[in-house]
Structure 1
Amino acid sequence: MDSRHWNTALERLSDSIRQVSEEPLRAAMMAQVDALRRELVSSEALEASLYREIERQAQELVLLEVARGALARQRDVREVIKTIVESTAESFGYVLVSIYLIEGDSLALQHQIGYDQVVEQIPISGGVSGRVVRSGQPILLEDVHADADFLEAVPGIASEICVPLHDEGKVVGILNVETFAPQRLMDQDLRLLIALSEHVSLAIQRARLFSTIQQSHEAYQMLVGSIGEVIYQTRMDGTLSFLNPAWKRITGFDVEESLGKSVIVFSHPDDADRVFRNRRLIMSRQRDSVMYHTRLRTKNGSFVWVEINAYAIFDERGALVGTAGTLTDISDRRRAEEHAQNQLMFADTLRDLAASFTDIVEMPAVLEQVAVHVTQVAPFDAGCILMIEDEQFRAVWGSGYAERGFGGWRTAFEVSLSRLSQHEEVARWGKPVILPDLAQYPDVMGSATLDWVQSRLYVPIRTRRVAMGIIVLDSALANAFAMDEAERVLAIADLASAVIGSLIDRQRRLQIEKDLRQALEREQALAEVRSQIGVTISHEFRTPLAVIQSSAEMLERYEGKLESGRRADLFGNIRRQIGYMAQMIENLMLISQADTSGLAAKPRTLDLVEFCETVAQDMQRLAGEHHTIAFSHRGSLESARLDPYLLRRILVNLLGNAIKYSPRAGKVLFELAAEDDGVVITVSDQGIGIPPEEMDAIFETFRRASNAGMIPGSGIGLALVKRAVELHGGTIFVTSRLGEGTTFTIRMPLRI
């Protein structure tokens, strides 16, 4: 009986009791009815509570089943999260549900239900969510305002549950549920969400594992697919059980249509026995692996050369279950090997040709040998050789044209080749030109008697990268010439060109010898002129002689009237001019000797410091008070072995020039320094300097700087210095700045 029937019965009973006349009895009976009614109400409340609990447990079971189903069906973690969030909200009426995963230092929203204001990122450093992440423990807030960490991102939140999500023991995110008043979250909600979080955590682990596996699988597939070699596997019966995509790239057959077929099906008929024999070596356990070359049939009917590396494969019990290996396209390698073999044979041809050139000294004989050897390397029906003379072609050899009724080929080619752009390209750039179909070049055919020609090859004869002629080969077949044949003809032409170049060089050498003889005769004549220049240079004596004469006359005429200082100046003038003349005479004698019989060093042992100091003092006396020579030295230089005469000429010329080209009161630096096993001599002045563009010419005989002006000089001093330095095995360098001065630096051995 349900509660409605009980209430009806109690009402009827109450009506009956009210008819009882005795008050005490009626009251006692009504009290008992009221007690029954209260008991009935309590029973109804208990029944309703039990019903609600059973209903909630059923909802929890349904939700967990949904989670398990999502876990089983979905491999994408985002899809699993979406299903669980939406099912949780729908099953229990939660209005605010969300799941966040950790990304860096924040929680990133994955999916949510019910939020108008979405919070995409939550820092893990604070708040309730951050505390759950840091502690790894779930939190139930029946009243969110009682927790200091609660951050009211959405107004009106009354309660919250935040549960951590785990992956391999580490917190990777949170499941969060929030409610508005008057709804409150309780312990039973916490238990449900903890159970649900375990399923979400498992889903995350499974999805990430699947993602890793899938990435590895994709990487494997990509690797296998990108390998240029075929990877294959066969069963015991020899049928193919695995092929990677390279199979189709090499053979043209689809992998699917090839699996289950024997390799013999794709083999060249002549190679089938080789394939079978090598497979038998593995299957009979005579070898664990084999490597061999064979030809495979392609889908278009052609054959491709491959290298097969095969090895035995075994199961876990050690039983042979088939073969596996790689298959590599070696067509290019085979072509390269064939090309190399042909090149070796062609090298023999070139050696024979080179040997035939040994005794040839005339160009026509060279071209005749070229024609003979070209016939061995290129298929042609007629051909000719034309050389370039005065920018026109001249035929020097021909074959096959007269036999085909073209007797006037020589003139025809000479005229036609001179006006065709193809020939200009060959002649100008030195490259072969192939005309595979002459029907496309109507201007090439200069005569109707050449209408049989279908293709043509032009090859330059070049020397030092300049074309000097052309080889023309004609064929009655279209596309008769290939580039490798053109290159071989070019190699023959280049070898001939080397011989032709040698013949030309011989002619040039004879001309050079003639030119040298003429130059030598001119040089001898020039040497004679130079030897006579000494006579001309005597004019340089006029100035010093005039100075000497005028000074002497002054001394003679005014001997008693001149002051001592003036007399000293006049005597100094005389001494300087005599010194200048003496130096010029010495230089002339030496340069003349150098131009005729030559100079030779005569070394003697000397104290170099003392020697140089003496020269400096002598030059200072000549310079007088107008210039100062500052001599310095360092290092041990006492036991030098040099030619004192030549060394003095070196120093006198350098110091004399420094004095001559320096202004009055100028200072000349004369430095002497030991260096390793040699000596460094430096002379520096503060004079007019040397123009930079004339620095390289100042050591030439009779050359003077353009800015010397009226300063006297013969132009032979520095030439003599350089020769004397070189006789000592030394070198001389000069640095100069206009208006500031010049420095000469000599390095020579201390002993010669």
Structure 2
Amino acid sequence: MTLPEESNRTRALLELLYHVSRELATALDLRTVLQRVLYETLQNVGGERCSIVVLDDAGKAVDATIVYGTKVHEHTTQQMRETMERGLAGWVIQNRKGVYIPDTSRDERWLMRPDDTDRLGSKSAICVPLLAREQLVGVMTLVHTKPNSFSNEQLDLVQAIADQAGIAVLNARLYTESQRQALIMTALAEGAAAMNASLRMDEVYQRVLIQTMQALRVETVALGMVEGDHIVFRAAAGHNSGNILGKTIELGMGVTGTVTREGRGVVIPDVSQEKNFSEADRLGGVEMRAAVIAPIQSQGRVLGVIEAINPISKTFDPDALLVMTGIGGLAGTTIQNAQLFERLQAAHKRYRDLFEESIDPIVITDWEGRIIEANRRATLLSGYSREELQELSIDQLHEVNWNKTGMEFEFLRGDRMVSYESSLHKQDESHIPTEVHARRVEFDSTDSIQWILRDITERKELDSLREDLTSMIYHDLRSPLANIISSLDVIAHMVPEVERETVRSILKIAENSTDRIQRLVSSLLDVSRLESGQPVADQTVVDTLALARSVLQDVEPSIRGRKQALIEDLPEELPSIWVDEDMARRVLINLLENSSKYSPTGATIEIGARAEDGWVHFWVKDQGAGIPPSEQDHIFDKFTRLRGQGKASGLGIGLAFCRLAVQGHGGRIWVESDTGKGATFHFTFPVASKEQMAGSAED
């Protein structure tokens, strides 16, 4: 070749490459770029057909275009897959360099495809890589139906065109991907907006179906929810969708069950070729040719599945599964919100029903104390209408205990309930005694305060009757008892000396019995006084050891009479205590007599005391049947007696008095016991202070 010829050839090549570059620079759409590359190659190199397969960053085919003469064939990625894996294109991808085959019948790298229009005969082919900054972005193949139709110069020319096209193809692919991602995000954003427009479950289902049908352009969409061990289809839209509603699929069965179990969606391009597709997957009345099945998920939990069936374009887009997975996630969140909303609505309705039907008056206020709602019982008891109540504040309706609630209700800000007794102000200006329970609640989605104003008129009347009865018992029995004691003393002195010993033992029994009656009457009165909140009034400095030994002297005869032993553990250095001496005496007597009463013949009763941190800790231990753990919390309640120990007499007042008396002095009382191993009662009384000791000495 002469120099002028070489120069002309170079100029022609440069002009060609410039022309190709200019053509490609004016387009960003991937299909347009591919078609222009193919047309330029066929026009300037020759050949019968030319194809390009576009690869993604992972080397996977994402698009392909073939030109036969002047006719363009698109969407042929599936057809080119075998060629890429085992044919000439695959060899070029692996070696990243171009190749010219003069006769395809003599080269094993050439793979005959089923879609070849001319399957027989030899051909010639050129195949080159498309590179962009050393990144493989595709493969271009040029074919002539006759062998030896190309040359190495044409191979170089095709490679030069491919080198020019590489950047354009990469840019177009990235642009197309970005456009596709934008469309997906737009579709998902529109779907999210549409789905979240309602919290009614039936509307949510329909919105999910509509968005799925629009995004994937399919004939039918179905939505199934996990209910127990099955998937139940609760909504459907499109062709023959009415036959789908109510269909159930057992969890784990077919493709649908697998999607639910594994939480991963699948695309089934051809149902007839999917081996895992079973009869369980078929939806009644719908001829299923292709499907995308995706899980409906929320917070990592599969709530159900959504199925898009039979694309109108016959095949699903490459992003179909991505779109369906996104819709499934959005649907899961929306459905869960709708479920929570339905449960909340049901809870509100239950609260409203309970609120209205409560036998107690209930009012709801804001945090300023303004009444915003009241139930039927509140209007009946107060005499106000609901509208009139809503014009009042809570302190106008009853006397608020500000020490309990706080002046700005700050003590109600937590989860604690505040209770106190008060008086309800009726419309007619009369008053009703009430027990108030106030706590923080959410009412109609508003942070509020609930006030239960329980009418305790009957209880107050019973309390008054009880106090009258107690007073009557105390005053009406005390004088006759005093007379009996005096009479017994007179009788003792009137009996002749000879008969005195015999009669004295009988009189002693009578005297002990009257003492017990007096203690019972005093205990009844003290229980009533202490329960009403009256303080212990007659506290004095009392010698602990002297008190204990005086009590032992009183109870020892009855204990000995039961052939029981009495052991004391009372140190001489016990400090004095600050107590009501009569109450303290009765506490000790009650516990000792109880221990003796519930212990068998021959048992040992122990009394002990120790000084501990400003308190004297007493204990009384017996060898009785013990107290079951289930009874220990109630043993100090009034009128409580142990089950299964019916042979012992008593009203169940003694231990209730002991509790109130000890607590009235600021002390503690408790029991330790194992069934069958006896019981030990513990209690504490305060040690007298130096000031109390000094004041007592002056008196």
Asked if TM exceeds 0.5, the reply is: no
Higher relative contact order (CA 8 A, sep 6+): 2
Output the TM-score relative to the length of structure 2.
Answer: 0.41
Output the TM-score relative to the length of structure 1.
Answer: 0.39
